[in-house]
């Protein structure tokens, strides 16, 4: 169960979140829990979760180790701040803030793995593609240009996420059937490139308007291995309900 906080929560608000959230999920061992605060709040989050099972991740990295790249953060820097995970290729980075493309997604995933970070590589189609029946085409292209460039050893370390852009922050959750069909397609692409066993082992999360009220139906689908939650991860009670619902 992954919570992507996007551009929400200062270091102080982060500390306050975990002082409420930690006791609500203490002893929960049904799933891995990882929270992705903004970069500025990673140290605060790592400190607040030090003796818990909750892991912390960054929302983005740059692929170089260091250099004249104003505004960027390297994988090693995230590790040093206490992160163990990183989101790669989130749709807001692809379409809203940075025009990230598939080859950059691959470079970022490789840099993350080289530094020992576990990447969650995100894919998903925009509304116009969804309406035009082009979901499979988009996912196949994103897989081929990004994930398929990893080695088999690297692929064994990653988690994938299906996040249809039309479901992100819109309150329009994909039906369990729609999500399941896309996960199945991504698993088929993985099987073609990395083999059947690797495709069965990779975890694929669903993201897009996941809430405590709809988590049960989504998690009933065998193809869905977890969720990548935006808005509903910002409130300790609703994120704790989602962790329990996983
Ligand atoms: P929402 O849960 O707010 O729709 O966001 C989903 C998302 O983008 C998670 O990465």
Q: For ligand 1, is residue 169 a contact (CB within 6 Å)?
A: yes
Is 183 an active-site residue? no
Is 95 an active-site residue? no
Q: Which residues span the domain enclosing 93?
A: 2-245
Q: For ligand 1, is residue 207 a contact (CB within 6 Å)?
A: yes
d(Cα 144, Cα 60) in Å, to the nearest integer?
21
User: Can you give the pTM of this predicted structure?
Assistant: 0.97
Percent over 90 (pLDDT), the chain: 97
Please check whether residue 246 is in contact with residue 219, taking contact to mean a CB–CB distance below 8 angstroms. yes
Residue 152 CA, ligand 1 centroid: distance in Å: 29
Q: For ligand 1, is residue 209 a contact (CB within 6 Å)?
A: yes
Residue 133 pLDDT grade (very low, low, confident, very high; cuts 50, 70, 90): very high
The answer to whether residue 246 scores a pLDDT higher than 90 is no
Mean pLDDT of all residues in 189-197:
98
The string over 123-147, giving b where at least 16 C-beta atoms fall within 10 Å of a residue's C-beta and e elsewhere, is bbbbeebbeeeebbebbbebbeebb
Report pLDDT for 43. Answer: 98
Residue 31 CA, ligand 1 centroid: distance in Å: 19
Q: For ligand 1, is residue 168 a contact (CB within 6 Å)?
A: yes
Report pLDDT for 162. Answer: 98
| Residue of 94, 230, 239 to test ligand 1 pocket, by largest number of atoms within 8 Å of CB | 230
Give the tens place of pLDDT for each residue, 60-99.
999 999 999 999 999 999 999 999 999 999 999 999 999 9
Report pLDDT for 12. Answer: 98
Q: Where residue 7 sits, what CATH number does that domain have?
A: 3.20.20.70
Structural domain count of the chain: 1
Please check whether residue 232 is in contact with residue 2, taking contact to mean a CB–CB distance below 8 angstroms. no
Give the tens place of pLDDT for each residue, 48-62.
999 999 999 999 999
d(Cα 58, Cα 46) in Å, to the nearest integer?
11
Percent over 70 (pLDDT), the chain: 100
Report pLDDT for 78. Answer: 98
């Amino acid at each position: 169960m992954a919570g992507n906080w996007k551009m929400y929560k200062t270091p102080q608000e982060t500390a306050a979140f975990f002082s409420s959230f930690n006791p609500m999920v203490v002893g929960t061992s049904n799933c891995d829990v990882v929270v992705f605060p903004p970069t500025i709040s990673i140290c605060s989050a790592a400190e607040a979760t030090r003796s818990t099972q909750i892991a912390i991740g960054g929302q983005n990295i740059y692929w170089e180790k260091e250099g004249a790249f104003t505004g960027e953060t390297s994988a090693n820097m995230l590790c040093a701040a206490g992160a163990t995970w990183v989101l790669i290729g989130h749709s807001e980075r692809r379409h809203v803030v940075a025009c990230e493309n598939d080859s950059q997604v691959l470079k970022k995933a490789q840099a993350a793995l080289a530094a020992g970070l576990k990447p969650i590589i995100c894919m998903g189609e925009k509304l116009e593609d969804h309406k035009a029946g082009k979901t499979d085409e988009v996912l196949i292209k994103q897989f081929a240009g990004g994930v398929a460039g990893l080695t088999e050893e690297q692929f064994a370390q990653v988690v994938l996420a299906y996040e249809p852009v039309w479901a992100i922050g819109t309150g329009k959750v994909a039906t369990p059937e729609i999500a399941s069909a896309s996960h199945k397609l991504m698993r088929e692409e993985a099987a073609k490139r990395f083999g059947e066993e690797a495709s069965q082992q990779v975890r694929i999360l669903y993201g897009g308007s996941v809430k405590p009220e709809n988590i049960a139906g989504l998690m009933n689908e065998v193809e869905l291995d977890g969720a990548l939650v935006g808005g509903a991860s910002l409130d300790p009670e609703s994120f704790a309900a989602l962790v329990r619902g996983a």
